[in-house]
Amino acid sequence: MYINKTEITVRYVETDKMGIVHHSKYYPWFEIGRSEFIKATGLSYSDIENQNIMMPLSETYCKYLKPAKYEDRIIIETYIKEFSPVKVIFEYKIINKENNQLLARGKTKQAFVYADTFKLMNLKKYNEGLWKKFKDLI
């Protein structure tokens, strides 16, 4: 199983008055991890969208375990938990790089839809090449 590891530094704008990362900022971090994961297929989100494929979110979840703080170096671990012709579930771990503590974990569920109609698609049938690229990372 491929696990993408993306490193970022917590920015001031992501924190509250206490210097703790606001809960809403974890979801953009998940998106950063997911985008970097997709790059491992040799494509970008734009490349996928240019093939008439969109991946809208249908569910999100985040469990906050310990606070991330201003200027912490964190690692976003991203991997595929579940994959089918119509959906993909990514899971994420937010880890403090300095002490290896798990700060949060989460997941996003995304459907594969046609960009022009937003109707559900069978990715395996519509684009077998992209299907295989994802499958190779599981």
Please identify every residue annotated as catalytic: 16
**In the 8-state DSSP scheme, what is residue 66?**
S
Instruction: Determine phi and psi for 19, rounding to 5 degrees.
Output: 80, 15
Residue 59 CA to residue 90 CA, distance in Å, equals: 11
Length of the chain measured in residues: 138
Which tokens hold the place of 81? 């938990």
Comparing CA positions, the residue from 22, 125, 138 lying closest to residue 79 is: 138
**In the 8-state DSSP scheme, what is residue 70?**
T
